Every structure is written in C-alpha cells, then in structure tokens.
Structure 1
Amino acid sequence: MILSHLKGLYTHPKQEWHTIEQNHETAHNSLTHILLIALIPAICSYIANTQIGWNPGAGDLLYLTPASALYMSAGMYFGLIAGVFALAYLVYWMAKTFDASPSYTQAFELASYTATPLFMVGFSALYPELWFMMLVGLAGVSYSVYLLYTGVPILMKIPEEKGFIYASSVVTAGLVLLVALMTGSVILWSNGFGPAIQ
C-alpha cells in the first residue's frame, strides 16, 4: 500500500524495516511512494515563492513570478526523484563489496524510504525563515541518516558492522550527489535559467 510504512518508520523504525524486509513491495509501489512524497517540497516551495515570500534578512519580502516558481518547483521535483534513483543505483552497485545481493527494487525501496524525511522537510518552506528551515532541515537529514544506518543491515541481510560501513559509504555517495545537484543548479542559473523576481 502506498505510504503504508510511513508511520512505522517514524514511531518504530527497526521493527518497520523488518516488516519491509519480510514483505518487499513491487517497484511500482516504491515509485508511487517517492512520486507522491517528492510533491511535498515542490508544492510547498511553489506556494512559498509565489504567495508567502522569502525574507533575505533585510528589506522587503521576495516573490518569484508564478512561471519562474513553477519551473523551479518542477526542476526540484524531477531532480529529487532522479537523486533517489541515483542513490538506489549506488546502493545496488556497492552491495557486492559488502557481500550483499539485493535486487534493484530492494535498493530503490531503501533509498526511497530513507529519503522520505528529507522530502518531508519541504513543509518548512511554508514558514520561510532561514533559521527555522535550517533547524527542520538538520532534523530531516539526521533522521534520514538514522533510517539508513538502521535499514541497511536489515534490508541487505548483512551484519551490523558491515552495515555501518556500507551505510557510511552510501551517505558519502549521497553527499556527492547533493553537491552534483547543487552544481547543476548553479550552472543552470548562470546560463539564464535563474528565478525571475516580481
């Protein structure tokens, strides 16, 4: 069922990972989950950019034009989904190094559920204050990393010691992906695809 494990991952993550491992979902279910969850930051940032405005720290609030906000939200949406696919591929690719043999669907399942808290951080855009978004973002990143460290040994069926090193490798790869996405954004912005302020 779509979003069926969401509550369990927040209330009792280890038990929920065991449930996920015992009842692996289809690739379609994991894809539907990530397609829905990735809407949260895209929609919330669109609303914040066009209706609420951003406070840069001094001066008036900044608003984007609806067209510009739509392009940026769509780019964010597809970028987040591509990031989850890339992370799942890295989890799948690194598995042999750690004596694990997951299917790509299992790797995608792990990536999509560990990315969920990061995507839920998108709700913080509805209160676009930098300090608030930083606190919520830090909490989301921390919980995503926690889910990754608890989920890898269970889903990959490896000892916790190997799972720790495996998860650390995935976190490092995730940081590289994040830097790549940010670099891509900077390149696009510098080539005329930046936001248009009202």
Structure 2
Amino acid sequence: MILQHALGLMTHPDDEWESIEKEHAPPTTVITAYTCILAAIAPLCAYFSTTQIGWRVGDGALIKLSSASAVELCLLTYFAMLIGVFALGWMIDWMAETYGGKHENNAASGIALAAYSSTPIFLAGLALLYPAPWFNLLVFVAAALYSCFLMLDGIPIVMHIEKDRAVFFGGAILAVALVLLVSTRVGSVLIWSVGFAPEFIGG
C-alpha cells in the first residue's frame, strides 16, 4: 500500500526512495492515495484542539475558535497544502533538466519527490492536538528540517541527478518552497480581509 512509504521514509529513507522510484506511481495516485490522506491530519487535529481544548498565550485567558470559523480555516489550510505540494512538484520537474535530471510530461517524479518529502510535515500535524504555540513551533521546525533532509536524499534517486548537483538543485527547490510559503501567508491575509478571519471565543 502506498501509505507504507510514510513509515519507510521515517525509518530507512534510502531504501524507501529506491522503492518509490521503482514503483513510479502516476501523480493522481500519489496525490489521492497519499497526499490527500496525510494532509488531512493537521486540519483534523487543529479543528479538534482549537474548538474543544483551546490554548493560552502566557497567563492569558483560554482561547478557542468557533466551530464555523475552525471549519473554514481548516478547509483552506487543507487545500493550500494540496495545491502547494502539486505546484512544488511541477516546479521540481520543470527545473530538473537544468540540473541534468529527467523531465516528464506528467511531472510524476517531481510530484512524488514533493509529496513524499513532505511526509514529516504531514505527520507533525498530530502535534496540533496539543495547541501550545511553542510546542507546535518546535515540532514543525524539526519536521521541516527532516523534510529538507529527505528531499536532498531523494533527489539523486528519484530525479536521477548526480549527487554534486543535487545540493544545488535542492537549494533551488527550497527557494521555490519558500516563495510558495510566503504566497500562502499573503493569501491568508487577503482571505481573512474578505470575511474568513478567525472568530475567537472564550474558553
């Protein structure tokens, strides 16, 4: 089953990348059978914790989100994650030829690299069950660092790029990922300004 790759990437990434390359699943399978499922972890956990548990900032009062507001924000977050993985995958494929890698019409390898490298970030969504900002920050920073490692580790195997070029290619990919992240943040502000701002309620 394709979801088994999640455990493999967390325990023995080199072998798992080899398996992913041999499998060479089409983008639709990677998105629907892997990304759509794992990307749902964070929104579901965030919905439960922000509406049922709540959080505090310092010694302040307990804060929660209204159910309607939480649903809106979680859905927006979910679709932003899916679009981000898909867009990053296409950009990886588009840039691959520049670094001596393979280019495919359906961007299968690029999307696979983006999706599977994001596994630690998807799984880090479980940390949102404990809605403490400092704890969530630490977990997601650690997950992002491991995702960077996975991507650098997987580039030579999945994209067929020499290891000396893989570092530079990885830097280019991370630059694109940062641009996508900033675009998402800007998009969040714009969406909040047209009526989707969080609705906070007391605990």
User: Quick one: which of 123, 129, 133 aligns to 1:130?
Assistant: 133
How far the C-alpha of 1:2 sits from its partner, in A, is 2.8
Alpha-carbon distance between aligned partners in 2 of 1:188 and 1:96, rounded to the nearest angstrom: 36
* Alignment match, 1:171: 174
* Alignment match, 2:11: 11
* Alignment match, 2:191: 188
1:41 aligns with 2:42: yes
Moved over 4 A (4+): none
**Runs of 5+ consecutive residues of structure 1 not aligned to the other structure:** none
1:149 aligns with 2:174: no
Q: Which amino acid in 1 is paired with 2:165?
A: K
How far the C-alpha of 1:28 sits from its partner, in A, is 3.1
How far the C-alpha of 1:194 sits from its partner, in A, is 0.3
Q: Which amino acid in 1 is paired with 2:155?
A: V
Q: Aligned to 1:57, what secondary structure does the other structure show?
A: coil
* Alignment match, 1:99: 100
Q: Aligned to 1:63, what secondary structure does the other structure show?
A: strand
Whether the 8 Å contact between 2:3 and 2:34 is mirrored in structure 1 is yes
How far the C-alpha of 1:19 sits from its partner, in A, is 1.5
TM-score (norm 1): 0.96
Q: Aligned to 1:5, what secondary structure does the other structure show?
A: helix
**Runs of 5+ consecutive residues of structure 2 not aligned to the other structure:** none
Alpha-carbon distance between aligned partners in 1 of 2:60 and 2:143, rounded to the nearest angstrom: 29
Pairs aligned (count): 198
Mean alpha-carbon deviation: is it higher for 71-80 or for 25-34? 25-34
How far the C-alpha of 1:4 sits from its partner, in A, is 2.0
Whether the 8 Å contact between 2:124 and 2:143 is mirrored in structure 1 is yes
